[in-house]
Structures are given as structure tokens and as C-alpha cells.
Amino acid sequence: MARSDVYHSSQVFSLRRSHEILLRLKHDPNCDMARAIIWYTDRGAPGDISYVSGVDIVELAAYYFEVRANGAMKRIPYHRIRRIAYGERVIWKRSGDV
């Protein structure tokens, strides 16, 4: 499967955990983490939602992922992830999110 075709299915993976999706994006040679955008709950941000590019993810730990943001490191628990997009397509979203 070509790198650009990995997530061209119309399926949204809501039964898989967000952590599993991020691990696949990072370790699958057919995926490019730089094409991922992750939206997460961020209290105090506009609309309480922020997003980060996959290239800014430094670590995928057991209970959180760590990102480089504005020159600082930030730990974001996986339960705060609302949606994951790969390219133009949403590949995972939390149940009940629009």
C-alpha cells in the first residue's frame, strides 16, 4: 500500500484507542507522522480545544503523549484527545464528537 493510501478508507476508527492509532502512525513505515493532526481538550484555550501536528510529538508514553509547544514540553493525557486526522481525513474521533 502506498504511503498516501494508508488512511484513504472512509472508515473512522472509533473502536481503537487513540494511543493505538498514534503508535501505528509513528511505527508503521507506510505512515508519515508529519501528516497527522491531533485535537485535544485544553482548558482555557479558545473553545477549550487545541491541536498539535504529529511532528511536534516527542514521546508516546503509556498514559500521555508529550509535545513540543512554544519552546516548552507539554504532557497531554490520551483521554483528552478528541480527534485525529491524517492528511485531510479524520481517522479517529471520540464517540459523541461531531
Q: Which pLDDT belongs to residue 37?
A: 98
Alpha-carbon 27 to chain mean position: 14
**pLDDT band, very low/low/confident/very high, at 5 (cuts 50, 70, 90):** very low
User: Domain limits at 25?
Assistant: 3-93
pLDDT computed for residue 38 by the predictor: 97
Going along 1-98, which residue ranges are E strands? 36-41, 49-53, 57-60, 64-69, 72-77, 81-86, 89-93
Residue 63 to residues 77, 78, 80, 81: CA-CA distances in angstroms?
A: 6, 6, 11, 12
How does DSSP classify residue 42?
-
Helix, strand, coil share (%) of the chain residues, nearest 5: 25, 40, 35
DSSP conformational letter for 27? H
- Total domain count for the chain? 1
- Residue 46 in any domain: the answer is yes
pLDDT for the residue numbered 98: 59
Over the stretch 35-50, which tens digit does the pLDDT of each residue have? 999 999 999 999 999 9
Answer whether residue 24 is part of any domain. yes
Q: Quick: pLDDT tens for 52-96.
A: 999 999 999 999 999 998 889 999 999 999 999 999 999 999 887
Mean pLDDT of 13-22: 77
| 61: in domain | yes
